[in-house]
Amino acid sequence: MILPALLTSAGFNIVICVRFFSLYSILRKQPYNLKVYFGQRLAQLQPAQKNHYFFDRLIPSAGWLVKAWEASDDDIYACGGIDGLVFIRLIVFCIRIFSVAAVLCIFIVLPVNLFGQAIDQTSPETQMDIFTIRNVPEGSTGLWAHFFSLYVISVSAYVLVNALLGDKCKASNIKGLY
């Protein structure tokens, strides 16, 4: 395993994410982007922009993220319609599933794979295979970590789908109200 290359790749990805976050934060503050970032309906609902200093519009901020996080289903429905509400719920569902999977895989599965001794780590072709189940020897008790993780992810998906279907009734009631 080439640890410096892995850390360099992770560092580049983090820097790129921070730059895109900052760029979005700056561009959404510009008055000429109001219709792009807020949509036509929102642009009509927005009060007239106050005279902000020019430099205030060039400083990235995370205030928009807090407002987006606190938006209720009724706010989303009013702005984006039922399609927007369903899309946001799908995104939230995916984030929840992948969060469970990421935590399990990072803290349970990855250490089992890294400390397995089934692969000769000297050849360059197998350097990345130490991160996979291939590095766990046959009949090892470490295989149970994989089965346990899959079981927890499956049960979590089942619970989240049932919660989502419970919210489906709420979404259909919202659709019926409007």
Name the percent of the chain lying above pLDDT 70: 75
Is 133:115 a contact under the CB 8 Å cutoff?
A: no
Whose CA is closest to 97, among 44, 158, 25?
158
Query: If DSSP codes are grouped into helix, strand and coil, which group holds residue 95?
Result: helix
68: left (phi over 0), alpha (psi -120 to 50) or beta: alpha
Task: Give residue-wise pLDDT tens across range 13-53.
Answer: 999 999 999 998 888 888 777 666 666 555 456 555 555 56
What pLDDT, in 10s, does the model give residues 99-123? 999 999 999 988 888 887 767 666 7
Cβ–Cβ under 8 Å, residues 109 and 145? yes
Note the pLDDT of residue 101. Answer: 95
Q: Per residue in 143-169, pLDDT tens?
A: 898 899 999 999 999 999 888 887 666
- Give the separation between CA 22 and CA 20, rounded to whole angstroms: 5
> Does pTM surpass 0.95?
no
